[in-house]
Amino acid sequence: MQLSEAEQGALMEVGDFGAVTAGRLTEQLGTRTPWRRLVTAGLLKACRTQRLGVVLGLTDRGARAYTELSGEPAPYVRAPGSLTDRAFQVEALSALKAEGYRLVQADRKLGGGVRGGAPTDLFVRFHLRVPEAQMEALEAYWGEGRPFGKGETYQAVLGHPVLYASLSGNGIQVSGARKLLSQHAGHITEWRYPLLIAVPEETREMRAYLRRVEAEDRARWGRYAASRTRADQPYIPPVRLLVVSPPQ
């Protein structure tokens, strides 16, 4: 199939990210984006979701066409749940990029879900560098941190928090947030920055949980004021909840 320039652009956009919402594709490429023709041609698959609207991903045929156009292997993201997760991650990262955050590393899910398995094209977390103005303020107060080591999964580097974004199982709920906070409690004190969690909406349960966590954390922080090396040490909330609303 001979693709027009617009069709090539749409196919490349989907292939570059692994999955995108139809709303984002329209926002990026204009209202005449030919994604429906690419679906009819069997190059893209369209999944209708409650949270994100239509999510677009490559078919096997579309992956081959992407590789022919780009010279790069296409990411293998095919299952509806995986496509929805990736599209949501794209939205979360785009929102943070607009604030000045920079993606440093994406950690891949291991095949079979076991340590030592081959990495897949699915992402479980993202390491970000905070906006430059915030990094300058952190370094002015705490001193320059060590460089970020590419390939390291869990890192405690100044100004490099981790983002989690998923819609699997209705997204990250209170139980998931509790687990992530426990996992990264020691990292937050080294990042000097909150853990980043993206959700499609802030539920009443999540709001109540995070308020309770921050209140307990502030009380604990206050009790140890006398032991801090500097009296003006700023308080660091444990979590920043990012509510992501994708373009429709």
The structural domains of the chain, with segments of one domain joined by +, span: 5-78, 88-243
Q: Decide: residue 69, CB within 10 A, 0-12 exposed, 13-18 middle, 19+ buried.
A: middle
Which structure tokens are listed for 195?
Answer: 């853990």
Q: What amino acid is encoded at 171 in this protein?
A: G
Say if CB 92 and CB 165 are below 8 A apart: yes
In terms of pTM, does the model score above 0.85? yes
User: What are the DSSP calls for 69-129, one per residue?
Assistant: HHSSPPP---SHHHHHHHHHHHHHHHHHHHHT-EEEEEEEEEGGGSTTSPEEEEEEEEEEE
Q: How far is CA 147 from CA 106, 136, 150, 206, in A?
A: 17, 15, 9, 34
Helices (H), the chain: 5-17, 22-29, 35-40, 60-70, 80-99, 132-142, 174-191, 204-223
DSSP 226: G
Say if CB 55 and CB 87 are below 8 A apart: yes
Q: Quick one: what percent of the chain has pLDDT higher than 70?
A: 92
Reported as a single tens digit per residue, the pLDDT across 142-164 is: 888 777 777 666 678 999 999 99
Reported as a single tens digit per residue, the pLDDT across 190-243 is: 999 999 999 999 999 999 999 999 999 998 887 776 666 666 778 899 999 999
Query: Maximum distance among all alpha carbons in the chain?
Result: 71
* Rounded Cα distance, 69 and 9, in Å: 10
Q: Which single residue is written with the structure tokens 């308020």?
A: 211
CATH topology of domain 5-78: Arc Repressor Mutant, subunit A (1.10.10)
